[in-house]
């Protein structure tokens, strides 16, 4: 009869996510994971098969958590659209999920490390990016529909501008750049959506 596992598998994934997020894929060894998860290599391999499989589990966990948070924060909830955008973008660079500054976004970090060399990783990072882009698109369409954004605003171009800015902000946050400078960049890109708009009725 198989011996029951003496650990919580989901908790192990969460702890592995934190370690991969801190160090990246290549800099995290199986020994590092064993030490962090309090698992012998044999137990780790038996449960997760290999480091790559565990990394994909970690990425899936982070993506689900982060994507849900982005969708919630970008939801039109009665606030002005520009305020929703500004609050969300400021949150990205001043209040990471773990409350620890300077770690950036796990998905963005992973895309820059492995996104062009690992198809399974690339599929996951692109899926995460698409969730954010769709949330931005829905918000901008709502703003244009209610007269908060110019009627001639090109939504696709605006999504590209905002999304590219967000990726840059996450990299700069990880690099420890001054939050005040990042806030100024956020204000500038939101202003670029159009300086004149009708107040919502």
117-132 pLDDT, tens digit each: 999 999 999 999 998 8
Note the pLDDT of residue 200: 42
Does the pTM surpass 0.85? The reply is no
Note the pLDDT of residue 58: 96
CATH fold of 60-191 reads Tetracycline Repressor; domain 2 (1.10.357)
171-192 pLDDT, tens digit each: 998 888 888 999 999 999 999 9
Task: List the structure tokens of 155.
Answer: 């939504």
Which positions of the chain have pLDDT values less than 70?
1-7, 76, 95-102, 195-201
Note the pLDDT of residue 153: 94
Note the pLDDT of residue 50: 92
154-159: Cβ within 8 A, 24+ apart? 158/193, 159/133
Secondary structure of 77-145 as H, E, C letters: CCCCHHHHHHHHHHHHHHCCCCCCCCCCCHHHHHHHHHCCCCHHHHHHHHHHHHHHHHHHHHHHHHHHH
């Amino acid at each position: 009869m198989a011996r029951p596992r003496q650990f919580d598998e989901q908790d192990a994934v969460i702890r592995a996510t934190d370690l991969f997020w801190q160090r990246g894929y290549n800099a995290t060894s199986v020994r590092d994971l064993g030490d962090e998860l309090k698992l012998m290599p044999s137990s780790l391999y038996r449960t997760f098969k290999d480091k790559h499989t565990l990394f994909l589990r970690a990425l899936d966990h982070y993506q689900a958590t982060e994507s849900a948070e982005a969708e919630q924060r970008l939801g039109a909830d009665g606030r002005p659209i520009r305020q929703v955008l500004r609050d969300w973008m400021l949150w990205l660079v001043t209040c990471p999920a773990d409350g620890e500054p300077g770690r950036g976004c796990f998905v963005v970090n992973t895309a820059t490390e492995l996104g062009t060399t690992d198809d399974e990783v690339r599929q996951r990072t692109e899926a995460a990016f698409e969730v954010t882009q769709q949330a931005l698109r829905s918000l901008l369409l709502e703003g244009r529909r209610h007269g908060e954004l110019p009627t001639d605003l090109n939504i696709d171009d605006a999504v590209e501008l905002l999304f590219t800015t967000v990726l840059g902000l996450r990299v700069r946050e990880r690099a420890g750049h001054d939050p005040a400078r990042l806030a100024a960049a956020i204000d500038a890109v939101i202003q670029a959506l159009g300086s004149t708009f009708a107040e919502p009725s």
